[in-house]
Amino acid sequence: MSTGPVDPTTTTAWTRLAGLAAAPRPDLRSTLTPAWVEQQTLVAADLHVDLSKNLFDDEVEAALLALAEEVDLHGRRRAMFAGEHINVTEDRAVLHTALRLPAGASLVVDGHDVVPEVHDVLARAYDFAERVRSGDWTGATGRRIATVVNIGIGGSDLGPVMAYEALEPYRQEGLSCRFISNIDPTDAGQELKGLDPETTLFIVSSKTFGTLETLTNARLCKAWLLERLPAGTDPSAAVAQHFVAVSTALDKVADFGIDPDNAFGFWDWVGGRYSMDSAIGLSLMVAVGPERFTEMLAGFHAMDEHFRTAPDTANVPLKMGLLNVWYTNFLGAHTHAVLPYAQFLHRFPAYLQQLTMESNGKGVRWDGEAVGYDTGEVFWGEPGTNGQHAFYQLIHQGTRLVPADFIAFARPSYALTDGDTDVHELFLANFLAQTKALAFGRTADEVRAEGVAEDLVSARTFPGNRPTTSIMAPELTPGVLGQLVALYEHITFVEGAVWGIDSFDQWGVELGKQLAQELRPAVAGDAEVAAEQDPSTQSLIRYYQENRGR
Ligand code: F6P
């Protein structure tokens, strides 16, 4: 296990980077030579990654790689892949990479080989998925399942729903998934609308099986089911046929009334936001089938191997993570946009928000010392071209630096024309245009040369020199999706390792959960508990009660 975290600001490389950031920096207009583009165009599995439009040069790259050395990033990476307890505050290994090791591999953690267990659960989950897909698994009245409803939140929702949307072309016809996450009853109300209870299967996905939202929604769905199945249906048979669970807490699953035979486990060394490739992906397995799920796992593994073995200068997650540190700590960026030019990736930015922000939104290092530097950018984004007509204005001409990752595919998921034009080509032209406009902008002289009136020249000038990374792949396949997710998992790891934080705990979500429990009676009308609250909370409770007619 690597020893305590290094304060990165005490390293020679940090001082060097601060000096480089303060010096006048060459503009992308001059740095973007063919040689630089060739040097900074990297390949990671099926991903073609062009880093050349970022604000760096050989000197900055060397200093960033030196920073990685000084904080012993490589040692921490070795420790993660080896299953050491790098999640210090929870005293756990961090082994999502073991979820995608091929059968036959071996990884001994805390005294035993985890790979056979991973494949045992996968085999059971695949078998279950096939039974649902083939119609062998039926509801309590003998009818084939038509809708799978995943009940989960955070990592037990965002990954499955993101991948379900991303892999739409691979779904089995006649079988659809819905996802209930929010404790706002509107969510369950809407998702259950129109469903036939006899053909609906619920998957309760919760690592802890203690999450208020998920357990409440699971009870709500159970009540919905039992009220609507034909009279005389045996309730326990109904639950057995219509409810399965995925959790690390199989005892709590049994307490809920779900047959342990219909429960799929995973392990405490899988963080919630790193779990979509465990049995938490059961809804996706049902939708796209075991074969496609296996291809996705192979994609994850290919990126793991790239991250683990590629030399530093060719290592995509390492360099992207270090560039994010450069932007955050030296060039003053606070946010990072992820802009997929693929409609099917419309939930990818939301997925990345949990992955990156729950991981790296920390203010203390893993030894408990407060950090004296920024951590954890705000990740956000929307698919292009919708974003172009919404927030790109700020990225192009605003006062803030917003590094952006563009993701695009050579082959379309739908090859359509408008009669003459291949619409995917029009779409890709937009992707290329945006990264070009951000890099080179348009100078005042160029604007004048277009005949623009002098009083409008400054408003129509684009400063350019705005950094982007372009990630391309042949097509959005299950394997490529796995590679993309693993890429961002490792970028997140790299940033956390430099900052010396524990990217694998999430204590910051606990206080709100605790206070919600304490406030419940006040919301329900307990005047004594309400009187204990701060004046603002009291006033909001009063407003609620008046307007709810309580
Ligand atoms: O509250 C945060 C969190 O713990 C996430 O880390 C997790 O993905 C989510 O809640 C759901 O947790 P669980 O899978 O245990 O229900």
What's the mean pLDDT when you consider all of the chain? 97
- For domain 13-92+295-499, give its CATH number from 3.40.50.20, 3.40.50.10490, 2.50.20.10, 3.30.70.141: 3.40.50.10490
Query: What pLDDT, on the 0 to 100 scale, is given for residue 383?
Result: 97
C-alpha 510 – ligand 1 centre gap (Å)? 10
Q: What percent of the chain has pLDDT over 90?
A: 96
> Which residue has 């605003």 as its token pair?
398
Asked if 493 and 503 touch (Cβ cutoff 8 Å), the reply is yes
Query: What pLDDT, on the 0 to 100 scale, is given for residue 507?
Result: 96
C-alpha 207 – ligand 1 centre gap (Å)? 7
Query: Is the CB–ligand 1 distance for residue 156 below 6 Å?
Result: yes
Asked if 400 and 334 touch (Cβ cutoff 8 Å), the reply is yes
**Digit-coded pLDDT (tens) for 424-449:** 999 999 999 999 999 999 999 999 99
Q: What percent of the chain has pLDDT over 70?
A: 99
Residue 422: C-alpha distances to residues 169, 341, 425 (Å) = 19, 15, 5
Q: Which DSSP category does 533 fall into?
A: S
> Which residue has 């074969």 as its token pair?
291
Q: What string of DSSP letters covers 118-182?
A: HHHHHHHHHHHHHHHHHT-SB-TTSPBP-EEEEE--GGGTHHHHHHHHHTGGGSPTT-EEEEE--
Is 389 annotated in the active site? yes
Residue 102: C-alpha distances to residues 117, 301, 325, 330 (Å) = 12, 8, 33, 40
Query: What pLDDT, on the 0 to 100 scale, is given for residue 3?
Result: 67
Asked if 39 and 462 touch (Cβ cutoff 8 Å), the reply is no
Asked if 307 and 77 touch (Cβ cutoff 8 Å), the reply is yes
Q: Which DSSP category does 5 fall into?
A: P
| Average pLDDT of the residues in 248-267 | 93
pTM listed for this prediction: 0.97
Q: Which residue has its alpha carbon closest to ligand 1 atom 10?
A: 154
Q: Residues 496, 502, 503, 507: is their CA dihedral positive or negative?
A: negative
C-alpha 473 – ligand 1 centre gap (Å)? 31
Neighbours of 216 (CB within 10 A): 14
| Average pLDDT of the residues in 160-173 | 98
C-alpha 155 – ligand 1 centre gap (Å)? 6
| Average pLDDT of the residues in 298-305 | 98
**Digit-coded pLDDT (tens) for 183-242:** 999 999 999 999 999 999 999 999 999 999 999 999 999 999 999 999 999 999 999 999
pLDDT band for position 344 (50/70/90)?
A: very high
Q: Is 477 helix (H, G, I), strand (E, B) or coil?
A: coil
Q: Which residue has its alpha carbon closest to ligand 1 atom 3?
A: 154
Asked if 348 and 358 touch (Cβ cutoff 8 Å), the reply is no
CATH 3.40.50.10490 fits 115-266, yes or no: yes
C-alpha 320 – ligand 1 centre gap (Å)? 27
| Average pLDDT of the residues in 122-127 | 98
Is 48 annotated in the active site? no
Query: Is the CB–ligand 1 distance for residue 159 below 6 Å?
Result: no
Is 358 annotated in the active site? yes
Q: Which residue has its alpha carbon closest to ligand 1 atom 9?
A: 154
pLDDT band for position 110 (50/70/90)?
A: confident
Asked if 503 and 359 touch (Cβ cutoff 8 Å), the reply is yes
Quick one: which atom of ligand 1 is closest to the CA of 506? Answer: 6
Same fold, 13-92+295-499 and 115-266: yes
Distance CA 157, CA 331 (A): 34
**Digit-coded pLDDT (tens) for 314-342:** 999 999 999 999 999 999 999 999 999 99
Residue 133 has pLDDT above 90, yes or no: yes
Q: How is the chain split into domains, by residue range? A: 13-92+295-499, 115-266, 510-548
Residue 544 has pLDDT above 60, yes or no: yes
Pocket test for ligand 1, best of 181, 359, 509 (most atoms within 8 A of CB): 509
**Digit-coded pLDDT (tens) for 75-96:** 999 999 999 999 999 999 999 9
Distance CA 48, CA 428 (A): 15
Q: Which DSSP category does 48 fall into?
A: E
Annotated catalytic residue within 291, 389, 510, 518: 389
Query: What pLDDT, on the 0 to 100 scale, is given for residue 247?
Result: 95
Q: Which DSSP category does 398 fall into?
A: S
Query: Is the CB–ligand 1 distance for residue 273 below 6 Å?
Result: yes
Query: What pLDDT, on the 0 to 100 scale, is given for residue 4?
Result: 83
Residue type, 254: A
Query: What pLDDT, on the 0 to 100 scale, is given for residue 108?
Result: 93
Query: Is the CB–ligand 1 distance for residue 545 below 6 Å?
Result: no
